[in-house]
Structure 1
Amino acid sequence: MEPTIQTTPPSTDNILFKGKIQFNGKAGEFFGIWIVNIMLSILTLGIYSAWAKVRTYRYFYGNTHVDNHSFDYLATPMQILKGRILAVIVFIIYSLVVQFLPVIGLLFALGFLFLMPWIINQGLRFNMRMTRHRNVRFAFSGNYGDALINFVLLPIASVFTLYLLMPYALKRIDQYIHENISYGGKPLSVNLKGETYYMAALITIGVTFAGLIGFAIFAGIAGVAMSFNGLDTNSLNFSTLLFPVLMAVMYIGMLTLVSGIYQSIIRNHILNSSEFEDIASFKSDLKPAAYGFLLFTNAVAIIFTLGLAYPWTKIRKAHLLAAATEVTIYTGALTLMDTVQEQQSSFAEEAANVFDIDISLT
């Protein structure tokens, strides 16, 4: 049975702010950060990548504003680096075990499957703890059992239903992630519906089939036209070179359109179904066609510039997502206390700091 959450917004008299998220990042600025990050990461054999992540996150967080208040990313490069060193050590051990003891390597892989929920929880917990707005931190409170069910058992079960269970599994994953987020100790209320995920899946499947049919028709017409004009598809000329390029562009266009449709439907549903009661509510009106076109043009730009357009695509995407997102903040936000900071002297907080590293590696 789907959870029922009463979403009765406070009176308009209690509204402190209502408006779109503002993103002020610029492609030129981020390009400078990005190219330096790449160069130093290469020169330091990847060690600087921890500093690169912090610089990137702080740039995007610092340029994202709600009610003239930007977000803060609090992680330090050493926290990121510790997580990556741990991942490298585990990978080396796994590679050696698989190479010399294949049977134990299989058990190692199985053990990693059961370790994955903990890794996911630690990654989410770290990212939330390191995110702050108006001097109030976010937090994540998921537990291992629920993560195991949602991230491991349900996706495996969907395989045995010919993936008919997959939309439900994806819904459960999103529900789990978002309902365990809190802001200043105030939990996020989420009411996601399975039917929306199945509708999104059916729409994307339909668009995919239509795209494949169009893809086949275009290929057939192009092949007939080339044969009719007496062109040898094995010889190098403008027509034979243009044909695979057009096919690749169409293929990218189909993938990005499908991705844009699904992501926009789900994003709108999640934000429109979530709220911090008496604190903030959200509204997303991301248009599938506009988002799909952005993903397509971004992919083409990255390919034809050999990756140099990546900073421009990141900034462009951030601008579109911000413009499609409205936030309403209520007077209850003034009463929030930064519970994470208040508990810094407690034993629980000190124990949490032992694993206060970027396990997710994102």
Structure 2
Amino acid sequence: MSLNEIRKAAARIVGFDPKTLDMGPVVLEAGALRQVAPYLKERGYKQVSIVADETTYEVAGRRLYDAIATEGISAHVTKITPNKQGDVIADEASVVQLMLDAKAKKAEVIVALGSGTLHDIARFTAYTIGIPFLSVPTAPSVDGFNSKGAPLIIRGDKQTIQTIGPEAIFADLDVLVEAPPALVAAGFGDMLGKYTSLFDWKFGSITSGEVYEQVVADITMKALLDCVAHVDEIAERKEEGIRLLTAALLDSGFAMLVFGQSHSASGAEHHLSHFWETTFLREDRRQILHGAKVGVACAEISAYYRTIIGDVSAKLPAEQQDAVKLELAKVPDEAEIRRLLTKVGGPSQPSDLGIDSELLAAGLREAHRIRPNRSTMLKFYNDNR
């Protein structure tokens, strides 16, 4: 859906504030990178901070820097320092690195050049020092480019902090189609996770009265089904497949903006993924792509929910039992989810991620505590054993 279509759909929500979706251009096309510098000049920015890592700088950062300089704008590049495992992570050190650089250079705007982690660092920094940021994705790997939530690692634990969305988005298909296959598969995995996140959101509304917006759920489901329907084009990394995947990821992000929270896009599968992530950090292990974890976690949650549905139903009123079973039937089984993950060349089993049966079991017992205010079926089951 276009941003205007999403605005029209969101207008049907009682009390929706149109300002929620106020932003500059959302460009998804070949050559979009060339539009960034003219946009910055038009907006009157004089001092620009580009946040990147070594890879994204080589992929697009050098060209972007030169283009900005050609417009007579002063630009500074902050390459986020990897941790001792060689991973760039959104933790205190990364945020402080960018914050100090941006403040020292008197940055008026931050350009996030990369995938999800670099956006989280840029988003939180921009929010904290009171300036806007632009989104320039370099891979269709996550749905967080345009969200307001910044998942950060604080003292080894995952915390999502509500900050700001981007002022504008420039997603260049010429760059995106060259993204590593693992990142494309990760973006597809992040989208597959909407099967279980949408179920969990509905479960929370049925069993605990959690606020539910059908319009937001519909936007997310359409984005998900578009990806599934075009899995072959995505797997082959055709331009149209990458465009559809990127558009779906952006639509999922816009759905979160409309609702103001991440219910539509983040349920037990994300909590399980975050549990694995923080465990790996504590054990000084290399990190795994977010979407890769989410896709595998989605398959595991789909299987686990079918295992525990009887116990959960026994603790619900009759009308809730029927409604929950009906919603769970809409979630593909684990075999289908793993088939789709394999189709795009991504991991499909916990063992593919280095996750053993003990860590998987621990996550199923403990992961719901990452977002204790989120009414997932995983939380309900663990709280009512």
- TM-score scaled by structure 1? 0.24
Bigger radius of gyration among the two = 1
Q: Which of structures 1 and 2 has the larger relative contact order (alpha carbons within 8 angstroms, sep 6+)?
A: 1
